[in-house]
Amino acid sequence: EIVLTQSPGTLSLSPGERAILSCRASQSVTNNFLAWFQHKPGQAPRLLIDDASTRATGIPDRFSGSGSGTDFTLIISSLDPEDSAVYYCQQCAHLPLTFGQGTKVEIK
Amino acid sequence: EVQLVESGGGLVQPGGSLRLSCATSGFAFRSYWLSWVRQAPGKGLQWVAIIKGDGSQKFYVDSVKGRFTISSDNAKNSLYLQMDSLRVEDTAVYFCAGGLGWTSLYWGQGTLVAVSP
C-alpha cells in the first residue's frame, strides 16, 4: 500500500498570500497519477488537479500542481477566503487507492 | 447536469447490514469507474471500493473485503454498496464518486452510516 504523507497539517495564512502544500508518497506513483481534492464541511469533495498537474475543468488558475515520482506539491498562488478547506492528495495508480491525511488551510 | 445522490444510510447495530444506493445521471455510467469513499467522524477520506460501470471489474480496501459488496446496475445508472457484518469503525459519511479513470471527478453529498450498540 502506498502511504501518502501531507505537510503541513495546518496552514494559517492571510488573503492574497501563497499556500504551498506537500504530498510525499512512500513509493513512486506510476504515471504520476496523483490528484488533489478540496473538501469543505458538509460538502462533496471537489477535484482540483489530476495527473499531478492538470487542472480540472472550472478550477481557477490560482491552483497549480507539480511534482513527480514521490514528491508532489499543490500551490494556491493568492489565497481567497473561499479557499478555506481541507486539501487531500490521492494516488490513483495502485490498489488500494489511498489518500493523504489532509492539510487544513485556514484564512486569517 | 451531473448528479450523484446517495441514500440508505442510517443507524445500525454492530453485526448488522445496510445497503447504500447512489442514483446517478448526466454521464456515461457504463464507461465510468464508480467508487465509494468514506469519512469517519473527525478523520480524513478513505477509499473503500471501486467498480467499472458495466460491472466487469471491482476492487476493495482490505478492511472491508468479505464484508462489503459493490455492485452496479447500468440500466438504472445506479451504484450500490451492500455492507454486512458492520463494525463500530465503519461509522462514517459514505460518498459515491465517479470518473473515467480511477480519479473521481464527480461526487455525491454523502450519506451517514452510524454503527452503534
Q: How high is the mean pLDDT of chain A?
A: 97
Q: Do A45 and B97 touch (CB under 8 A)?
A: yes
Residue B105: which of A56, A97, A100 has the nearest Cβ?
Answer: A56
Instruction: Quote the pLDDT of residue A50.
Output: 97
Per-residue pLDDT of A61-101, as tens digits, reads 999 999 999 999 999 999 999 999 999 999 999 999 999 99
Check: CB of residue A51 under 8 Å from CB of residue A36.
Answer: no
Interface of B with A (CB under 8 A): 35, 37, 44-47, 50, 59-62, 95, 97, 99, 101-105, 107-110
Sign of CA dihedral B57, B62, B64, B65: positive
DSSP H/E element including A68: strand A63-68
Q: Which residues of chain B have pLDDT under 50?
A: none
Hey, is A64 helix, strand or coil?
strand
Instruction: Quote the pLDDT of residue B117.
Output: 94
Instruction: Quote the pLDDT of residue A41.
Output: 95
Cβ contacts of B58 within 8 Å, gap of 6 or more: B49, B50, B51, B52, B70, B71
Check: CB of residue A100 under 8 Å from CB of residue A5.
Answer: yes
How far apart, in Å, are the Cα atoms of B83 and each of A36, A101, B10, B64, B87? 28, 25, 12, 9, 10
Set of chain A residues whose Cβ sits within 8 Å of the Cβ of B58: none
Report the distance separating Cα B47 and Cα B90, nearest Å. Answer: 12
User: Which residue of B lies nearest to A38 if distances are taken between CA atoms?
Assistant: B45
Instruction: Quote the pLDDT of residue A100.
Output: 98
Set of chain B residues whose Cβ sits within 8 Å of the Cβ of A102: 44-45
Q: Region A45-55: what's the mean pLDDT?
A: 98
Report the distance separating Cα A45 and Cα B22, nearest Å. Answer: 16
Three-state secondary structure of B33-93: EEEEEEECCCCCEEEEEEEECCCCCEEECHHHCCCEEEEEECCCCEEEEEECCCCHHHCEE
Instruction: Quote the pLDDT of residue B82.
Output: 98
| DSSP per-residue string spanning B4-30 | EEEE--EEE-TT--EEEEEEEESS-GG
Q: What pairing do the DSSP bridges indicate for beta strands B111-115 and B10-12?
A: parallel
Per-residue pLDDT of A6-37, as tens digits, reads 999 999 999 999 999 999 999 999 999 999 99
Hey, is A32 helix, strand or coil?
helix
Q: Which residue has the cell 502511504?
A: A3
